[in-house]
Each structure stands twice: as C-alpha cells, then as structure tokens.
C-alpha cells in the first residue's frame, strides 16, 4: 500500500519517529488509525447518550400529557418544517 501525505503531515510523522516514540512511519500511522477508531467509538457513544436524553425528555412530556397528535403525513411534514426554519 502506498500513502501520500502532505508535506506538513509527512514532517509530523518524521518528527514522531525522530522523537523515539515510534520505530518507523508505519507505527505512527497505525497508532493514528487506532486513535481514530477509538475517537469514532467515543463520538458514537456520545451521540447515543444525547439521543437517550432527548427520548427521555419526550417520554416525560408524553407522560405529563403534553404530547400532540398528528393526523396525517401532511401534518407530520408541517411539524418538521417548523424545525427547518
């Protein structure tokens, strides 16, 4: 596999190797990819937590009788159009 890096990224990879933390550029790239995977997993968990919070707010509102009934697809579309503005 061949990977092209911008001069800035290539310089950063070389600096990591020269620091002694990594033996070669491949180790730097592998570590960066592992970090990216971990970061993506964390972002996914944060999004799920926010969704759960919002669902709880909605369920709580429904339990207090604060829900509304939408009788048609048009009403549903109009409801969501309010959020686009």
User: Band of the pLDDT at 8, cuts 50, 70, 90?
Assistant: very high
Please check whether residue 26 lies inside any domain of the structure. yes
The reported pTM is 0.56
Q: pLDDT value at position 23?
A: 97
Please check whether residue 2 lies inside any domain of the structure. no
Please check whether residue 1 lies inside any domain of the structure. no
Q: How far is CA 38 from CA 8, 10, 24, 31, 49, in A?
A: 24, 23, 22, 11, 17
Tokens 């070669």, located at residue = 24
* Number of domains observed in the structure of the chain: 1
Q: Rounded CA gap, 58 and 67, in Å?
A: 8
Please check whether residue 74 lies inside any domain of the structure. yes
Enumerate the H helices of 1-85 as residue ranges. 7-18, 25-63, 73-84
Please check whether residue 67 lies inside any domain of the structure. yes
Please check whether residue 25 lies inside any domain of the structure. yes
Please check whether residue 60 lies inside any domain of the structure. yes
Domain containing residue 50: 7-84
For residue 26 the two structure tokens come to: 């491949």
Please check whether residue 50 lies inside any domain of the structure. yes
């Amino acid at each position: 596999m061949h990977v092209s890096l911008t001069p800035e990224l290539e310089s950063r990879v070389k600096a990591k190797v020269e620091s002694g933390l990594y033996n070669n550029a491949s180790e730097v790239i592998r570590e960066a990819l592992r970090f990216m995977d971990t970061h993506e997993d964390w972002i996914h968990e944060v999004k799920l937590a926010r969704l759960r919070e919002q669902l709880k707010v909605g369920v709580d509102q429904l339990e207090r009788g604060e829900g509304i009934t939408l009788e048609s697809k048009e009403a549903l579309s109009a409801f969501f159009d309010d959020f686009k503005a």
